[in-house]
Amino acid sequence: MNKRTFRILLIAGWALFAAAVAAQFLTRPYLPEQLRDFLASEHQEVLAQGFSASAAAAALILVFSVATQVGLLLLKRWARACYAAVLALDYLYLFVFGRPYVMSATGYALGSMNAALSGFLLALMYFTPLKSLFEHEQDLI
């Protein structure tokens, strides 16, 4: 595995995330009526709460995640540890603020593939020769 392949896998993760979000919104009309009603009531409840602790935590994790992804793309030393922290924070967020959530099969499949790819990238960065790319500062190319 080389830098180019790692970067392609990283970008594939971004594409999977975008596809999962798009699939979730585009397939919503095909859900049974009861599930669509549940999603609508959840959406109204979130809007009524305004900017909550959950939203603030999600925004902070998002900013941290984007900065980490840029660091990974540039093969920065700090990005490897930050990536592990971002993944841990994502799951901690779900544990603390998680609520019942409805997803279409397509959105769930794409999200699951993204989660698997995230774990694969983490393993590559820590347990393969690719880890040497993160032990020394790299040129941009």
45-91 pLDDT per residue, tens: 878 877 788 889 999 999 999 999 999 999 999 999 999 999 999 99
Question: Domain ranges in the chain?
Answer: 3-133
Angle at 21 between CA 42 and CA 15, to 5 degrees: 165
**Residue 7: per-residue pLDDT:** 95
The chain-wide mean pLDDT, for the chain, equals 91
pLDDT tens digits along 103-123: 899 999 999 999 999 999 999
Q: What global pTM score does this model have?
A: 0.85
Return the closest-CA partner of residue 9 out of 87, 120, 128: 120
